[in-house]
Amino acid sequence: MTIQSFIPPRRILMGPGPSDISPQVLQALSRPTVGHLDPLFVGMMDELKQLLKYAFQTENEFTIAVSAPGSAGMEACFVNLVEPGDKVIVCRNGVFGERMRENVVRAGGDAIVIDDEWGAPVSIDKVERALKEHSDVKIVAFVHAETSTGALSDAQALGALAKQHNALTIVDAVTSLGGVPLKVDEWQLDAVYSGSQKCLSCVPGLSPLTFSSKAIAKIQSRSTPVQSWFLDQSLVLGYWSGEGKRSYHHTAPVNSLYALHEALLMLKNEGLDNAWQRHRTMHDKLKLGLEKLGFKFVVEAADRLPQLNAIYVPEGIDEAAVRNHLLETYNLEIGAGLGALAGKAWRIGLMGYGARQENVALCLQALEESLTQ
Ligand SMILES: *Cc1c(COP(=O)(O)O)cnc(C)c1O
């Protein structure tokens, strides 16, 4: 067998991530690799921090990109902030809330789980009741944009509630960052992580992360060291900060960071407000077309994520066959249902560079043709 270079087709990625990447970002990825302690690279990292602060709307000094996917950003928050015995309220309304619970347990924490229906947002009332019932809760953890269902939760209200009860927040903003409003400082959120491959439309494998001064204080007052060496953020800090003098922690994914710099620069040039509006406008167009085709959304209109549209598969349709047809005939990828929605729903992503008119039109036309077959 002769093995040749792998040359993938150009797919249109309208699933739950990774999303379409702009040619500009792919070009940045292929620029020459420099040493990760090269002064020019260090300068790029400083700019990258500025751009991340803008995307997160924060002045937090600790704002970086973890050199691993969103799941590592999640784990970084839990292993650093949860100490054995800490009570953590975990809101679970989809796949990623359950992963948060597992992280709490593995870090030795005591998870108090608040369940909501798949497709519903996190209930503020339930969280408030739990906070009143347990006066010693240290952390409230929730998913801002649940990619498994397409539901948006009220991060502002949850942030305010946690503060009233002297608890920190851990927020999954993997799918929300760049797609819907997220204001880390204004909403008083403490530990927020994201992913490069959703609404930032960058290559997979990086996890933007920001910690408030309160989160840093909790890390600094730990009585036991963080169990994970790689994710111990007190060690990583020396690599990302220190004005010009960087110390080696691990080899940064140099080219991926060029790509993130480019993707964030595109976001800054467009402006966050415009990016949020574009996601909303494209969602409205897609929704109109889907409703014309008779589709029903999983999530109530008020709680829907514009960037992740979960719709029920019509009765009698082989959902996997349709997805395969879209992939083979149109080079179009949409997502299958996950967890409780497996086999019952499709998830259509309009993320970042993918949230544009031609994608909406192609998706609607391809779905209509597939269903009439
Ligand atoms: C995709 C996703 C993750 C995991 O990110 P990976 O980069 O796949 O590790 C976590 N949370 C949410 C809400 C996601 O959508």
pLDDT in tens, 22-72: 999 999 999 999 999 999 999 999 999 999 999 999 999 999 999 999 999
User: Which residues, other chains included, contact 54 with Cβ-Cβ below 8 Å and sequence gap of 6+?
Assistant: 264, 267, 268, 272
Cα–Cα distance for residue pair 324/322, rounded to 1 Å: 5
Bridge-based pairing of strands 207-211 and 191-193 is antiparallel
Lookup result for tokens 């309208």: 14
Return the best residue to mutate from 143, 198, 338, 347 for the ligand 1 pocket (most ligand atoms within 8 A of CB).
Answer: 198
43 contacts: CB under 8 Å, gap ≥ 6: none
What is the reported pLDDT for 91?
A: 98
Question: What pLDDT is attached to residue 1?
Answer: 84
CATH architecture of 12-17+271-372: Alpha-Beta Complex (3.90)
* AA identity, residue 223: S
Could you tell me the sign of the dihedral formed by the alpha carbons of 45, 67, 216, 272, in that order? positive
Are 79 and 107 in contact by the 8 Å Cβ rule? The answer is yes
Compute φ and ψ for 365, nearest 5 degrees: -65, -40
How far, in Å, is the centroid of ligand 1 from the Cα of 97?
11
Instruction: Locate the ligand 1 atom nearest the alpha carbon of residue 147 and give its number.
Output: 15
User: Domain extents for the chain?
Assistant: 12-17+271-372, 23-268
- Residue 255, pLDDT score: 98
Has this prediction a pTM greater than 0.85?
yes
**What is the model's pLDDT at position 243?**
56
Topology agreement, domain 12-17+271-372 and domain 23-268 = no
Q: Whose CA is nearest to atom 6 of ligand 1?
A: 70
3-state secondary structure of 312: strand
CA of 267 relative to ligand 1 center, distance in Å = 20
Residue 109: closest CA among 88, 91, 128: 88
For residue range 73-101, what is the model confidence (pLDDT) as tens digits? 999 999 999 999 999 999 999 999 999 99
User: Would you say the CB of residue 143 lies under 6 angstroms from ligand 1?
Assistant: yes
Give the whole-angstrom CA distance, residue 261 versus residue 55: 11
Are 118 and 143 a contacting pair, CB within 8 Å?
no
Q: Which residues of the chain have pLDDT under 50?
A: none
Fold of 23-268: Aspartate Aminotransferase; domain 2 (3.40.640)
97 Cβ below 6 A of ligand 1: no
Q: Which atom of ligand 1 is nearest to the CA of 94?
A: 13
Using a 10 angstrom Cβ sphere, with 0-12 exposed, 13-18 middle and 19 or more buried, the burial of residue 128 is middle
Whether omega before 18 lies within 30 degrees of 0, making that bond cis, reads yes
For residue 248, the model assigns a pLDDT of 85
